[in-house]
Structure 1
Amino acid sequence: MKANLRRPALRAGLARAAALAAVLAAVGLLPWLSGRDPALTVLRARSAEQEPTAEALDAIRDDLGLDAGPLGLIGDWAGGLVRGDLGTSWVSGTDVLPSVLSGLGVSLTLMGAALAVALLVAAALCARTLVRGARGTLRGGGGAAGAMLTAVPEFLLATVLLIVLGVWWRLLPVSGWQGPQHLVLPAIALGIPAGGLLGRLVDDALPAVFRERWTDVWRASGVSPRRTVVAALRRALPALVPQLGMVVVGLTGGAVAVETVFAVPGLGRTALGAAKSQDLPLLQGSVLALLLLALAAGGCAAFARGRLLGSGLKDAALALPAPAPGRVRGVVPLALGAVLATAMGWGLLKDPYTVHTAARLAGPSLAHPLGTDSLGRDVLARLGHGAASTVGVALAVCAVSYLIALTIGFLPGASAGVSDIANALPPVVVGVLVAALTGPSTLGASLAVALVSWPPLAAHAAALVLEIRASAHLTAQRAIGASPGWILTRHVLPAVAGPVAQHAVLRLPGTALALAALGFLGLGAQPPSPEWGLLLDESRLYVERAPLAALAPAVALALLAGLAVTLAGLRPRSGARRSRSGAAAVSVSGRPVEVGVVR
């Protein structure tokens, strides 16, 4: 019995170790997989003015040891890792370990502050539910406010905070890392979405706790509301602690964009810079630290859950009863979609590439309703054409993820390990690696998002396949001699394809937001493309002179996030159990996989 209980944990541990080894090996092979000469990239990073002569490139190859080949470089790096040596930066020539430790210290400080903000936001969101639950007047959880906060991308919130609190009101510094005041805006930008997620999880779980019989007994016995609240939280925590670990992992990924916005010298920004300059040792050390941080967060969450459950229940699921799904009013997504469609249609009538140097950074006018950018291009035109390209690419990514899910969903045993590996990687880290491999491009960003977006769809498909294959009418079909191919094409596949397609459509806004995040980081579409994330990144350079040009893509992304929230209320059909967050969830090898909106 104990051996059977240990098998899922052993399998999960092996999957995580395989993910770590695979990612580090891929990083080590980047110079050869990308097809770009690392010597030329390093030369440009060291000195942009120096001519790339054959002698200069050969000297760099000899200095970096590139003649030893990929296996030699990986072997040398792994041998140094055993001795605690991460190598020497190809660009700066300094030891990598101090740079990684410095960035890690900054990232951990920022993560701790963001987690404090997240807990405060979650407490504020759950306060009303706790009070009403302790009094016995609770009828159902809320979660709407938490869902709205959860859907706001960190990079978007960071940009808005920079514009409003930093540029307009000048309350706080907007860049650097010189003192505690520089920590406030990045921590808020990271903590509010994370707090919205935590608040929603707890707010959805508490009604089930307060409906349990012991709460009625405690109230009838005169137990104080404060003790009842503490006991209710204690009851809900074991099921929510793993999600808290995932929130910390999300803070690791989201910190890359936030560190970039506020010029914070954290680990994520270090990894991004190393990927762009092909500084292989620094990139390997940064990715290793990021993945170890993510895996440590998951391990700490599992340990805390075991301590909360105690030795008798440490292997138990202890899942709370699921709340009833909320209903979404159709007018909300229709209104949000209408606003986006109007802006996109109006902008598509204009040319997004026409340059008017005399009208640079002009304010709103009849000719330019949203003003112009730094080159005099119409902001509304670029917003409209950017919407078409962003949504179009997101549709393609969702279609690819859907096809992969349908294929892998029929092999749940073989896909479980692959799903675990994909879920263990923060999306931004995957984007950094793909950009280092293929170069920053729309194709690279699409590939990065697709690599991390298919596992929930595949898990949903696998759950539906198992459910349908066990149904009574298929048993009768087999009994009367129906062939497996006939059953597959006439019964199983039609029953799976529809719900999974609906699920893929629900993930469309979140996929578009993920693409915009990579574009904002410079890992996706490149200038002069009007992609929304790229527009937001470009407008930060002149936000003081033309704030409307920066707010336009920010508002568009906020509307898209709101559309993602409202669509998330339209639940996929049967075949999946309900999760604590209100999104559908299924289990692959005992591990719950959320199928809500992509973050």
Structure 2
Amino acid sequence: MTRGLLRPVAGAAGTVVVLAVLVAALPWLWDSDPAATVLRARYPERGVDPATLDALRRELDLPSNPVLGAAEWLGGLLRGDLGTSWVTRAPVAPEVLGALGISLTLALAATLVAAVVAALLLLPGLLAGVRGRAPGRGAAVAAAVLAALPEIVLGSVLVLVVAVGWRLLPSSGFTGPANLVLPALALGAPAGGMLARILSASVEATVAEGWVRTWRSLGLGVPTLALGVTRRAVAVAVPQIALLVVGLLGSAVAVEQLFTIPGIGSVARGAVLAQDLPTVQAAVTLLVLLGLALGGLGVLVHRALLGPALSGRELTGAAETASRPASRTSVVVAVLLLVAVAAGLPRDPSSGNEARRLAPPSLALPFGADPNGRDLYARFAHGALLTVGSAVVVVAVCLVVGLAVGVGARSARAGAADVLNALPPVFVGLLVAAVAGPGLVGAAVAVALVGWVPLAVHARTLAAEARASGYVRAAELVGASRWRVARRHVLPAVLGPVTRHALARVPHAALALAALSFLGLGAAPDSPEWGAMLAAAQGYLERAPWTVLAPVVGLVALAVVLASARER
């Protein structure tokens, strides 16, 4: 048993070391000579002069090679030294740690919102379950829709309605508790829907256990039964709850940008765009280490609550439900979205007309016009090709990688893949943008780098079940090679479910790409990609709130497809 525990721990530790070295080498991954990067950032019109580069190296105290640089940076990290900014020449630690405190405050407030939302959604089903009745589907549908709703879309709607329309709360800044309400709602409500979905599956499994029927037959009251079921369900779902909290930190980057909150995500994004690599290194390192620590804490709490004998009862959650066939709702919404996009493709998305600048929606302009007088419906349709088309390519790559890794895995135990699963795409997007610069290709690479992990975990579990079956054991006994067994017996058993899982993840990948573009780490600001369109419309919410209509409609449609595709 000790060896079984040490193997995943060793895999996780190895992954952490690789990530640390990768972050330490960021300046040389960005450019073979970091001094040249600083020179171009400070003086874009000046050529690269060797004497100037030498002076910059002395000024910034840059090591001469990436190995020495990575070693020095990691040594400083162990001493608590996060480096010095290339832009301000000030120590990075005070700014990054202060920003981390703001992000943690936002994440805590969002966690409280998520807990309240999840409790309200779970209560009817929990009470019905402990009474031995079938729960209704209303709360489940509401949880599914909330879970799939993009934070940037919900935040934009809250700004538009509550801040701009009703003028009840501030729309930006971080000067007091009032500034925390809308961001916490935008971040916490979708997390509450996801938490309710995770716990509802755990509640259903717990209610079916024998001890619940025994307690009910003994005449114990509903409150006692409900408390016992809740404690058991929460214990089983602790690892996924921990990953959900980690996801709040990743999603907070987009929410911080939307509400102009100076959190660590905003600091990291600004540093990427300013090419201030030491600040990027510090911010990403703290985000990754905090995320991994929370994920690891969830696993330890899970084992402590359930014990080694019961630790295998982990819910696969989205991976299992996502592999089910899509519902009628998802098909209808997908068809409507496809028809709307096809109808808008013949329209011109790039020609502007000053006479119709910021024109409201009309029959001629169903979504209105942007600040340059361009047809927002045409940009919505062409942007779908970028957003959804890129997501299809990303998921196809993830499917191939996930099948190869999952079928090739020798066991279904946790390891490096589970560590990577704790990293939200935004974190990886910051790393990719720090190396290659912002761009849609870089955003797609960032989503793919973590998008294959759930598919690999799903394939790994199914492959382990297939290898335990009688016909596979028989093939091994007659001398079939490992490659032949995988190709002829294991892969056919895994391919169908994992492919359906991958298809259900297309909307998820599209929403992740849109979030990165919204942050300025994906498509170009003038692109019709939906996230870039939403970012460009933020400055016109008070004057022309309809400018967010086109990307919001597209992203909400994707959210509904994602929610419906995951319904039972």
Give the structure-1-normalised TM-score.
Answer: 0.86
Deviation at 1:220, TM superposition (A): 4.1
Deviation at 1:357, TM superposition (A): 2.4
Amino acid at match of 2:405: I
Aligned twin of 1:338: 335
Amino acid at match of 2:172: S
Aligned twin of 1:304: 301
- Distance change >3 Å, CA 301–CA 499, structure 1 → 2: closer
- Distance change >3 Å, CA 284–CA 210, structure 1 → 2: same
Deviation at 1:556, TM superposition (A): 1.1
Residues 1:316 and 2:313 aligned together:
no
Partner Cα distance (2:352, 2:52) in 1: 39
Deviation at 1:408, TM superposition (A): 1.9
Aligned twin of 1:237: 234
Partner Cα distance (1:320, 1:24) in 2: 29
Per-residue deviation, residues 49-80 of structure 1 (Å, max 9, x unmatched): x8567365543333123352222222222222
Between 329-338 and 425-434, report the one with greater CA deviation. 329-338
Aligned twin of 1:371: 368
- Distance change >3 Å, CA 259–CA 407, structure 1 → 2: same
- Distance change >3 Å, CA 303–CA 321, structure 1 → 2: closer
Q: Is the 8 A contact 2:113 2:185 kept in 1?
A: yes
Aligned twin of 1:581: none
Q: Is the 8 A contact 1:370 1:549 kept in 2?
A: yes
Aligned twin of 2:122: 126
- Distance change >3 Å, CA 130–CA 448, structure 1 → 2: same
Alignment map for 1:426-437 (pairs within 5 Å): 426-437=424-435
Deviation at 1:380, TM superposition (A): 0.3
Aligned twin of 2:144: 147
Aligned twin of 1:504: 502
Aligned twin of 2:550: 552
Q: Is the 8 A contact 1:65 1:73 kept in 2?
A: no
Q: What secondary structure sits across from 1:410 in the alignment?
A: helix
Partner Cα distance (1:15, 1:465) in 2: 20
Deviation at 1:413, TM superposition (A): 3.3
- Distance change >3 Å, CA 442–CA 66, structure 1 → 2: same
- Distance change >3 Å, CA 58–CA 367, structure 1 → 2: farther
Aligned twin of 1:32: 28
Aligned twin of 1:265: 262
Partner Cα distance (1:60, 1:556) in 2: 47
Alignment map for 1:165-184 (pairs within 5 Å): 165-184=162-181
Give the structure-2-normalised TM-score.
Answer: 0.91
- Distance change >3 Å, CA 320–CA 525, structure 1 → 2: closer
Q: Is the 8 A contact 2:292 2:419 kept in 1?
A: no
Instruction: Choose from 72, 87, 93 the match for 1:76.
Output: 72
Partner Cα distance (2:530, 2:315) in 1: 40
Amino acid at match of 1:441: G
Q: Is the 8 A contact 1:121 1:196 kept in 2?
A: yes
Partner Cα distance (2:198, 2:486) in 1: 37
Q: Is the 8 A contact 1:125 1:203 kept in 2?
A: no
Q: Is the 8 A contact 2:236 2:315 kept in 1?
A: no
Q: What secondary structure sits across from 1:68 in the alignment?
A: coil
Partner Cα distance (2:439, 2:365) in 1: 29
Instruction: Choose from 532, 535, 544 the match for 2:533.
Output: 535
Alignment map for 1:375-524 (pairs within 5 Å): 375-413=372-410, 417-474=415-472, 489-524=487-522
Alignment map for 1:5-16 (pairs within 5 Å): 6-16=2-12
Amino acid at match of 1:215: V
Q: Is the 8 A contact 2:327 2:565 kept in 1?
A: no
Between 178-187 and 502-511, report the one with greater CA deviation. 502-511
Amino acid at match of 1:204: A
Deviation at 1:148, TM superposition (A): 1.2
Aligned twin of 1:187: 184
- Distance change >3 Å, CA 462–CA 297, structure 1 → 2: closer
Aligned twin of 1:578: none
Aligned twin of 1:561: 559
Q: What secondary structure sits across from 1:440 in the alignment?
A: coil
Residues 1:207 and 2:201 aligned together:
no
Q: Is the 8 A contact 2:191 2:244 kept in 1?
A: yes
Q: Is the 8 A contact 1:88 1:95 kept in 2?
A: yes
Partner Cα distance (2:486, 2:312) in 1: 35
Q: Is the 8 A contact 2:520 2:532 kept in 1?
A: yes
Deviation at 1:288, TM superposition (A): 1.8
Per-residue deviation, residues 234-288 of structure 1 (Å, max 9, x unmatched): 2222101111111111111111111111111111111222222222221121122
Partner Cα distance (1:328, 1:458) in 2: 19
Partner Cα distance (2:537, 2:84) in 1: 36
Aligned twin of 2:110: 114
Amino acid at match of 2:249: T
Residues 1:63 and 2:59 aligned together:
yes
Per-residue deviation, residues 73-110 of structure 1 (Å, max 9, x unmatched): 22222222232221211111111111121011111111
How many residues were matched structurally? 562
CA RMSD in angstroms, aligned pairs only: 2.9
Deviation at 1:47, TM superposition (A): 7.5
Partner Cα distance (1:36, 1:522) in 2: 24
Partner Cα distance (2:384, 2:393) in 1: 14
- Distance change >3 Å, CA 249–CA 127, structure 1 → 2: same
Between 426-435 and 22-31, report the one with greater CA deviation. 22-31
Deviation at 1:351, TM superposition (A): 1.2
Partner Cα distance (1:299, 1:482) in 2: 39
Deviation at 1:485, TM superposition (A): 6.5
Q: Is the 8 A contact 2:239 2:295 kept in 1?
A: yes
Aligned twin of 1:254: 251
Aligned twin of 2:344: 347
Deviation at 1:12, TM superposition (A): 3.4
Between 442-451 and 152-161, report the one with greater CA deviation. 152-161
Structure 2 gaps, min length 5: none
